[in-house]
Chain A
Amino acid sequence: MDRIEFMKHYRRFEKGSITRRDFLRLTGLGMAAAALAACAPAGGNATEPAAGANLGDRLDLATWPNYHNLKNFEAFTAQTGVNINVNVFGSNEEMLAKLQAGGTGWDVFVPTNYTISTYVKLGLIEPLDLSRLPNFDEASFEARFLAEARVAGDTNLYAIPKDWGTTGYMVNTANVTDKMTSWKQFFDLTIEKYSGKTTIHDYQLTSIGNALCYHGYSFNSVDPAELAKAEEILLAVKPHLFAITSDYQPPIRNGDAYIAMAWTGDALQVKRDIPTVEYVLGSEGGEIWEDNWAIVKDAPHKDAAYAFLNFMLDPNVAAEETNGHGYPQVDQRATALLSDAMKNDPIMYPAQELLTPLEFGAAVCLTDENRAELWARVKSA
């Protein structure tokens, strides 16, 4: 009996569905089996841990909801004896605030691209020791994605791209007959034709960024004159919005909204249930993002953290991750292992000409005071 089965029996015991005698018999067997398993070589399809490494029995991971294939975690635990303790967060800001306050005990976390430079400046992460990550193959990662895990004037990698996606919008073509392709249409049609049927993110980076795209400016602009133009369009659209929310699946699903500013994963999930929903990337540009694996500088279980990252960088494991959560991989070796249906999915892998104008969000957008105040004015309006 392995750990997982042991835990299963343990939970059953907690719930009172097995007798104490049964439990003791099972645990006795379990302990014997666990001792044997520790001597036996690790099995499975994934990489083996470094010989003789004592990784401890615990790893603390801070991540987003529904963002991993739990089968991979189970395989890692079976192989190394390291249990993964998962902490789930709702926003990068929350994660940053926790790490900045200190004493989290986290080992690995999954920051989004635009926060990496902030973590480096605050001394919360340090360059990764790539010699401890033999599964990482730089050549199979597109340079554009790796650049986001570096900081200016430094060739070190501070993190490794985990998966990526875009920010576009969902359109339910059952209600919206216009062929939508741009951010200009997103805002104009909301005002003219679909008043009360559109949602935008409750997030200044994307909502202001896409309003900047409306005018053809950079998604990341902090130019006051350009921001003023973006404010104009946001104030004009506000009375026509159904909601300012990042929880936009419910209104799209129950028909309250026809158009919703959306991230890749939500669009994939909704389209699975409502085939009339299409995902549009604005032709003017917009956001491309990546989440990264990073190791906390003061990680209490650093060896386990490196072993875990190396395990997750195995192309087979990475491909299984995508099969589990649906976000595209950066590692081309992993992408090659995906099903054709996934590789040809226009939401997961949009056409290259749509991706080219997209920009990675910049850290400056989150620290720029004008953007923060602009957003407060829009929400107050």
Chain B
Amino acid sequence: MTVSTRKTKLTTALLLAPASLWYLLLLVAPLVIVTIFSFGERAPEGGYAAAFTFEQYLKLPTRSTPFINTLWLASLGTFFCIILAYPLAYYLATRASAQMKSILVALIIVPFWTSFLIRTYAWITILSSRGIPAILERLGLVQDLVLLNTPFAITLGIVYNYLPLMTFPLYVSLERLDKRLLEASKDLGANRWGTFWQVTFPLSAPGLITGSMLVFILLMGEYLIPALLGGGKIFFVGNALVDLFLQSRNWPFGSAVSMALNFIMLVIISLYLWLTSRLGGEGREEVSLF
């Protein structure tokens, strides 16, 4: 081995060390700890006591509602994000002038300079009886309308907070779309609708899948939105975990619930990888999550 290749290897190792340490300490190690805890027992004063038992996993059905709530509202939220983000991304990528584009991108990004907590808290005021319901009532449109602390408020909070995560991957995949393909489709006699479904949409699929994954995965761990905009009445897995680790101090059961959540994520991500590899093509490398 020459000196220079050895040097290169050393440099590579040094450059990779911080990231490797980061993953070992903050991802692998906690995951190992959670796995060990999930087979343990709750200590009499709370916390963890060493044991080897499947008891925690057998108790998982008692937390089925939070899992169902989370899966259902995460899917609904992702769906609405797609419905709103697709036309927006399409407009940004294909129709907007350069100036319009920068204005719109700024409008999407600027609100996110404020903390997530504060933005969500602001919705409490907007949705509370002195906010939108009061205005609609004064207009004589509704009576005794309750918006805050409903599934509607949670869905709204989700769409509001996660929309950019859907918009940008879609925008990237639509922007790189080869315009000649659209012309070819037209030349070959497809109408606009046909061109969209047969050319544009399939080519934007990788962006769509990436956006959906980003939104869905983060939503599965959501805690704040159901607590603040759902009034704590709709139990998400995130909220169940907080209760288990803090209120009842049952770390082993909390760990088992975390493991179940990780397992569901793993299934979803495998599905994602399978879908993107099947779609293949150039689009994949451009927008893939991994």
Q: Kindly state the separation between the CA atoms of A32 and B134 in the bound complex, as whole angstroms.
A: 62
State whether B42 touches A93 (Cβ < 8 A). no
Q: Does B219 contact A (CB under 8 A)?
A: no
The reply to whether the CB of B231 lies closer than 8 angstroms to some CB of chain A is yes
Q: C-beta contact mask, B163-194 vs A, less than 8 Å → 1, else 0?
A: 00000000000000000000000000000000
Q: Is B63 located at the chain interface by the 8 A CB criterion? A: yes
Instruction: Check A380/B129 contact, CB under 8 A, given A122-B45, A245-B231, A250-B124.
Output: no
> Per a CB cutoff under 8 Å, which of B63, B149, B239, B250 touches A243?
B149
Given A121-B45, A367-B44, A379-B239, A94:B246 Cβ within 8 A: yes
A379 adjacent to B146 (CB under 8 Å): no
Is A156 an interface residue when CB atoms closer than 8 A count as contact?
no
Structural contact, A256 and B232, CB atoms closer than 8 A: no
Kindly report which residue of chain A lies nearest to residue B250, judged by CB atoms: A372
B249 touches A97 (CB 8 A): yes
Given A255-B130, A256-B129, A376-B240, CB of A196 within 8 Å of CB of B124: no
Shortest Cβ gap from A359 to chain B (Å): 20
A254 contacts B by Cβ under 8 Å = yes
Bound complex: CA of A128 vs CA of B246, how far in Å?
Answer: 28
B102 interface contact, C-beta 8 A: no
Which chain B residues numbered 101 to 157 have a C-beta less than 8 Å away from chain A?
124-125, 128-130, 146, 148-149
Q: Which residues of B contact A13 (CB under 8 A)?
A: none
Chain B proximity of A228: nearest CB distance (Å) = 16
Cβ-defined contact, A380 with B149, below 8 A: no
Check: B233 CB closer than 8 A to any chain A CB. Answer: yes
A321-361: CB near B (< 8 Å → 1, else 0) gives: 00000000000000000000000000000000000000000
A245 and B45 CA atoms in complex are apart in Å by 25
Are A100 and B47 closer than 8 Å at their CB atoms?
yes
Residue B65, interface by CB 8 Å = yes
Q: Which residues of A contact B148 (CB under 8 A)?
A: 256
Q: Is A142 an interface residue (CB 8 A)?
A: no
Q: Do residues A243 and B232 form an inter-chain contact, with CB atoms below 8 A?
A: yes
Interface: A244 (CB within 8 A):
yes
Give complex CA distance A371, B248 in Å.
9
Interface centre among A100, A238, A250, A379 (most CB of B within 10 A): A379
- Chain B residue numbers with a CB within 8 Å of A376 are 62-63, 235, 240, 243
Minimum C-beta distance from B54 to chain A (A): 17
Contacts of A377 in B (CB 8 A): 62
Within 101-153 of A, Cβ neighbours of B (below 8 Å) are at 118, 121-122
A118 close to B243 (CB less than 8 A): no
Number of interface residues of B (CB under 8 A): 32
CA distance in complex: A366, B247 (Å): 7
Q: Decide: A238 and B233 in contact? CB cutoff 8 A.
A: yes
Nearest chain A residue, comparing its CB with the CB of B59: A373
Q: Mark B244-255, 1 if CB is under 8 A from A, else 0.
A: 111111100000
Residues of A within 8 A of B (CB): 91, 93-94, 96-97, 100, 118, 121-122, 196, 199, 202-204, 238, 241-245, 250-251, 254-256, 366-367, 369, 371-373, 375-377, 379-381
Chain B residue nearest to A238 in the complex (CB): B233
Assembly CA distance A100 to B48 (angstroms):
11
Complex Cα gap A181–B151 (Å): 33
The interface centre, meaning the residue of B62, B130, B246 with most chain A CB atoms within 10 A of its CB, is B246
Q: Is the CB of B130 within 8 A of A380?
A: no
- Does B221 lie at the interface of the complex (its beta carbon under 8 Å from any beta carbon of A)? no
B29 CB to nearest chain A CB (Å): 15
From known contacts A243-B232, A250-B128, infer whether A380 and B65 are also in contact, taking CB-CB under 8 Å: yes
Residues of B within 8 A of A254 (CB): 125, 128-130
User: In the complex, what residues of B have CB within 8 A of residue A243's CB?
Assistant: 149, 231-233
B149:A375 contact, CB within 8 angstroms: no
* Contacts A100-B47, A251-B128, A380-B65; A241 near B233 (Cβ below 8 A): yes
Interface members, chain B 60-106 (any A CB < 8 Å): 62-63, 65-66
Q: List 7 A-B contacts (CB under 8 A).
A: A94-B246, A244-B231, A251-B128, A367-B46, A372-B248, A376-B62, A376-B240
Contacts of B231 in A (CB 8 A): 199, 241-245
Are A367 and B128 in contact, with the CB atoms below 8 A? no
CB distance B149 to A242 under 8 Å?
Answer: yes
Q: How far is the CA of A369 from the CA of B46 in the complex (A)?
A: 10
Task: List A contacts of B125 (CB < 8 A).
Answer: 254
Please name all residues of chain A whose beta carbon is closer than 8 Å to the beta carbon of B227 when the two chains form the complex. Answer: 202, 245
Can you name the residue of chain A whose Cβ is closest to the Cβ of B231? A243
**B residues less than 8 Å from A244 (CB atoms):** 231-233
Q: Which residues of B contact A122 (CB under 8 A)?
A: 45
Q: Are A373 and B46 in contact (CB under 8 A)?
A: no
A175 to chain B, nearest CB (A): 11
Q: Return the chain A residue nearest B47 by Cβ.
A: A100
User: Is B66 touching A380 in the complex (CB atoms < 8 A)?
Assistant: yes
Chain B residue at minimal CB-CB distance from A243? B231
From the candidates A250, A255, A367, A375, name the one contacting B243 in the complex (CB within 8 A): A375
Minimal Cβ-Cβ distance residue in B for A250: B124
**CB nearest to B148 among chain A residues:** A256
A191 to B: closest C-beta gap in Å: 15
Quote the shortest CB–CB distance from A101 to chain B (angstroms). Answer: 9
Which of B129, B130, B239: most chain A Cβ within 10 A?
A: B129
Distance in angstroms from B121 CB to nearest chain A CB is: 9
Task: Tell me if B247 and A203 are in contact (CB < 8 A).
Answer: yes
- Which 9 pairs from chain A and chain B are nearest by CB? A243-B231, A372-B248, A380-B65, A244-B232, A93-B246, A379-B235, A254-B130, A380-B235, A256-B129
Find chain A residues with CB under 8 A from B233 CB: 238, 241, 243-244, 379
Contact partners of A375 in chain B: CB under 8 A = 243, 247-248
Closest to A121 in B: B45
With both chains docked as a complex, state the minimum distance between the C-beta of B160 and any C-beta of chain A, in angstroms.
19
| Docked-complex contact A367 and B45, CB < 8 angstroms | yes
